[in-house]
Structure 1
Amino acid sequence: MDYTEWLVREFEDNRAHLRTVAYRMLGSAADAEDAVQETWIRLSSRADVSDVDNLTGWLTTVVSRVSLNVLQRRKGRREDLYGTEAADDSAERAAMMSPEQETVMADSVGSALMVVLDTLSPAERLAFVLHDMFAVPFDEIAAIIGRSSAATRQLASRARRRVQGIDQPSTIDVTARSEIVDAFLSAARTGRFAALLELLDPDVVLRADATVVAAGAAAEVVGSDSVARTFDGRARGVRPILIDREPGAVWRVEGRPRFVFVFTVRHGRITGIEMIGDPERIDVLNLSDH
């Protein structure tokens, strides 16, 4: 086996681990995959890794740095859009995963955790995720974020206090969220613009994957007015469903799902919608009627 083949094998052995680290950091399956690919590029560009004692640890550090850069850019973009650091980016939480992603995320405490993580600063999120979820020592995390070990420990502690306040959603919550999605689809079909606005969070984010974009959709639409206009008078063929027991919708063509819509509902309003058209992603979803 030559060096390149060995490097590819070693990286593939670590891919699932790197994906789940990046997913916990970023809350988006697509962004996590991009971070993993960037990590591979950085690894493959090295002429030699013989000086790396712990390749898994080195790769974890690299994917963490890549993810931190993404979080910082995302934070800056939200500040430009809304003028605040606290703008909710929770729509990037992807409930749709490949089988490998489902395996590595099986121990997740649920969507409530991802919502709380979305409210943390990039440094807080990285410190908490790496230490509390992956047992990375504080001195190693400190080197990634450019803080002292003591400051990094404080960041993780502050994040932990916020996470400990999570309330897990109940079955009743799922029913209530499904009713909101049903009302949204009904308003969209009948062109009731005002009703759409009432159901959407002011900072709602609508995102589409590459397949949906290729069909003519915008990759991202931000704000209740813009998202309402996107759906106003449309969605006639879209039907409500449950996606992995969470409220969603589907548009079928000849009986097969063509596009799937995943809704994030918080405090009685829709905060995010993700449109999925990639057949491979759709195939691994558990779609069921109410």
Structure 2
Amino acid sequence: MTASLDDIFARERRPLWGLCYRMTGSAADADELVQEAFARALERPPADTSRDLGPWLRTVALNLARDRLRRRRETHVGVFVPEPVADEELRSESASPEARVSLAESATWAFLLALEALGDKQRAVLVLRDVYDLSTRETAEALELGESHVKVLLHRARRALEDARPVRARPADLALVARFFTALAADDLDGMKALLREDVVFVSDGAGEVHAARRPVVGRDKVITFQRRTRPAVPPRFALATVNGAPALVYVQAPGVPAGTPPSGVIQLEVDDEGRIARILACVAPSKTSRFLDRHPVP
């Protein structure tokens, strides 16, 4: 049993991790949930151990992830932004060419934020069907639901997802990310205004750990005012990187910043068809940036 479980762990760990990450938006939670799922296989294995443990592990991981998602929604302080993940973690997953949503797209911040509009059961159905390309029967078995119920949940989830996704928004390229933060560092008001839409939205997630906007900041003038007011006196160290499949700015503050100031952050920009910034997403909670920065430190 131990040797075979080692083989199963090697085979199933990455798919289970990707599933838990898309369910929770948290890489740290995904790490824990995968370990917990395998711990249950050791402590309380299914009655029929002659069958493939993969589907059983998937059901266990899904139930754990749904519980974690519900608890997070009850306790999270402020607006939620997914935890940043390096692209190499996502590229290690195997993909189905028939999937409605690609693995790469389904791990972007934009997609994960749209999933926040779904209940935990709807989210699980959509991820299994449209990302991992499971059949209706396989999805029903994984969630212990009837097939007709799965079809209803999927229809509602797809409709809610379409309503929640930004219209004609796409990730900004690295050059635009650099231009915006150069203008911010130089306090170039005209430069910032030229890059932002009139109705730009700024979303920051401090998880109640550091100072951050508890609600989205809407409007060009308000966003610029907020950015200037929270800009540190000493410029942080920063690097441009690709995070969750999109360009991002990763920064670490200089020592001695005021208490409550985010010590680090990962920021992405989304632009409209005309190339103007439509949304700014910032993950600044230390508990959510530490895993990424430990693996990818800013020089």
Local SS of the residue matching 1:95: coil
2:185, 2:235 within 8 Å by CA — same for their partners in 1?
Answer: no
Alignment identity in percent? 21
2:150 match: 152
2:5 match: 7
Deviations 1:161-191 (A, max 9, x none): 344575564465766665555566667xxxx
Q: What is the CA–CA distance in structure 2 between the aligned matches of 1:235 and 1:138, rounded to whole Å?
A: 55
Q: What is the CA–CA distance in structure 2 between the aligned matches of 1:153 and 1:140, rounded to whole Å?
A: 12
Which has the higher relative contact order, 1 or 2, with Cα contacts under 8 A spaced 6 or more apart? 2
Within-5 A mapping of 1:33-112: 33-46=31-44, 50-51=48-49, 53-78=51-76, 88-89=79-80, 91-96=81-86, 99-104=88-93, 107-109=103-105, 110-112=108-110
The one-letter code sitting in structure 2 at the alignment partner of 1:96 is A
1:200, 1:224 within 8 Å by CA — same for their partners in 2?
Answer: no
Local SS of the residue matching 2:63: helix
Does residue 281 of structure 1 match 2:277? no
C-alpha deviation, 1:111, in angstroms = 3.5
Q: What is the CA–CA distance in structure 2 between the aligned matches of 1:35 and 1:129, rounded to whole Å?
A: 17
Deviations 1:214-272 (A, max 9, x none): xxxx85666349xx79x94636241454221523133389xxxxx86211456745443
Q: Structure 1 stretches (4+) deviating beyond 6 angstroms?
A: none
Change (3 A) 1:129 1:103: same
Change (3 A) 1:158 1:55: same
Q: What is the CA–CA distance in structure 1 between the aligned matches of 2:295 and 2:168, rounded to whole Å?
A: 26
Flag the structure with higher helix content: 1
C-alpha deviation, 1:77, in angstroms = 2.4
Unaligned runs of 5+ in 2: 96-102, 188-199, 216-225, 255-262, 271-276
C-alpha deviation, 1:273, in angstroms = 1.7
Q: What is the CA–CA distance in structure 2 between the aligned matches of 1:73 and 1:170, rounded to whole Å?
A: 30
Q: What is the CA–CA distance in structure 1 between the aligned matches of 2:110 and 2:10, rounded to whole Å?
A: 30
2:282 match: 272
- 2:266 is aligned, of 251, 262, 265, to 262
C-alpha deviation, 1:69, in angstroms = 0.8
Change (3 A) 1:76 1:179: farther
C-alpha deviation, 1:19, in angstroms = 0.9
1:93, 1:114 within 8 Å by CA — same for their partners in 2?
Answer: no
2:238, 2:252 within 8 Å by CA — same for their partners in 1?
Answer: no
Q: What is the CA–CA distance in structure 1 between the aligned matches of 2:210 and 2:40, rounded to whole Å?
A: 28
Does residue 205 of structure 1 match 2:205? yes
Q: What is the CA–CA distance in structure 1 between the aligned matches of 2:185 and 2:157, rounded to whole Å?
A: 36
Q: How many aligned residue pairs are there?
A: 246
The one-letter code sitting in structure 2 at the alignment partner of 1:102 is R
Unaligned runs of 5+ in 1: 83-87, 188-198, 208-217, 254-258
Q: What is the CA–CA distance in structure 2 between the aligned matches of 1:251 and 1:222, rounded to whole Å?
A: 16
The one-letter code sitting in structure 2 at the alignment partner of 1:206 is G
Greater mean alpha carbon deviation, residues 241-250 or residues 272-281:
272-281
Local SS of the residue matching 1:263: strand
2:113 match: 115
1:23, 1:29 within 8 Å by CA — same for their partners in 2?
Answer: yes
Q: What is the CA–CA distance in structure 2 between the aligned matches of 1:157 and 1:95, rounded to whole Å?
A: 29
The one-letter code sitting in structure 2 at the alignment partner of 1:101 is L
C-alpha deviation, 1:114, in angstroms = 2.0
Within-5 A mapping of 1:136-215: 136-142=134-140, 145=143, 147-163=145-161, 166=165, 169-170=169-170, 181=181, 201=202, 204-206=204-206
Q: What is the CA–CA distance in structure 2 between the aligned matches of 1:63 and 1:164, rounded to whole Å?
A: 26
Change (3 A) 1:272 1:250: closer
1:248 match: 249
The one-letter code sitting in structure 2 at the alignment partner of 1:281 is R
